[in-house]
Amino acid sequence: MKLVTYSYKDQDKIGALRDGAIVDLTSIAPTMLKLIEMGPEALIQARNIVESAAESLPLDSVKLKAPIPNPRRNVMCLGLNYAEHAQEHYASSGKKTELPDFPIVFTKATTTVNGPYDDIPYDPGVTAELDWEVELAVIIGRTGKNISPNQAMDYVFGYAVLNDVSARELQRQHKQFFKGKSLDGACPLGPWIVTVDELPDPHHLQVTSRVNGEVKQDSNTSLMIFNVPAIIDHLSRGMTLLPGDIVATGTPSGVGFARQPPEFLQAGDVVECEVEGIGTIKNRVALT
């Protein structure tokens, strides 16, 4: 299923796509987070409703929101999880490439989460180096700790497209990534969650970003250094993962700061991020 959070007549609801329209699932749970927490039973109910519902809403009659608009805690992110991105990262400061032996983990504040087609706020008084990062996002489906790689996929609820929008000079100035990764609206997410039954193999998906229609990143999740089971294994060691946790799996090469010359987002730019088998999110950069 493709599960959405949407706003219709000023009310937030959840639903599933059916033939390009939305079937309301709010009778099962008021929010996506609640639906995920309810476990497999809720998904069976959802499938039944999708199959039998008489009514649906055209997709263009609603406003899609991030599928999990208010996560309970920070978005967990992998850094330098594609070798070519690690190379461009180190090359940009004249350093020798070091591939990580362990996943580099940082987080983005919950207030970064933004809709799949909403504006990315841009305040030139705060940053002059706003950058794009297309990523596959993993949505965790159930509580778990010390999850072994061979069990890890049982903990995945589904996948979405994520743009890990980054303010590069803030990332450098504040040493830890958190501040530069956590500007309001800096995490467009969506357009929906594709449940794991519809996308059993997350490791052969093309990952692409475009700015104003020009391709900037074009890679494949097969090139991730730490794949989804390895990421879940590492993250869950001694740290409980919760249903609805959002994990961004890292971005491939082609980001703005590492380009020659560097490129950064400007007001009016339109960023599209696409992951094969999921869809495309599209966000305009807007002065705030």
**Contact footprint for Mg ion (CB under 5 A):** 133, 164, 251
Query: Which is nearer to Mg ion, 133 or 272 (by Cβ)?
Result: 133
Query: Which is nearer to Mg ion, 129 or 164 (by Cβ)?
Result: 164
Query: Which is nearer to Mg ion, 68 or 248 (by Cβ)?
Result: 248
CB 255 within 8 A of CB 163: no
User: Whole-number minimum distance, CB 83 to Mg ion, in Å?
Assistant: 15
Looking only at the bridges linking them, the beta strands covering 113-114 and 187-195 are: parallel
User: By 3-state DSSP, what share of the chain in percent is helix, strand and coil, each rounded to 5?
Assistant: 20, 35, 45
Query: Which is nearer to Mg ion, 144 or 185 (by Cβ)?
Result: 185
Please tell me the number of Cα atoms within 13 Å of 109 on its side-chain side.
Answer: 12
Query: Which is nearer to Mg ion, 24 or 133 (by Cβ)?
Result: 133
The Cβ of residue 128 has, within 10 Å, a number of other Cβ atoms equal to: 12
Using CA atoms in the order 120, 124, 127, 133, what is the torsion angle rounded to 10 degrees?
A: 30
User: Whole-number minimum distance, CB 168 to Mg ion, in Å?
Assistant: 12
Question: Whose CB is nearest to Mg ion?
Answer: 164
User: Whole-number minimum distance, CB 78 to Mg ion, in Å?
Assistant: 7
CA–CA distance, 246 with 235 (Å, rounded to integer) = 12
User: Whole-number minimum distance, CB 98 to Mg ion, in Å?
Assistant: 17
Strand partners, 5: 14, 65
Closest CA relative to residue 192, chosen from 68, 50, 283, 285: 68
Query: Which is nearer to Mg ion, 134 or 196 (by Cβ)?
Result: 134
User: Whole-number minimum distance, CB 133 to Mg ion, in Å?
Assistant: 4
User: Whole-number minimum distance, CB 251 to Mg ion, in Å?
Assistant: 4
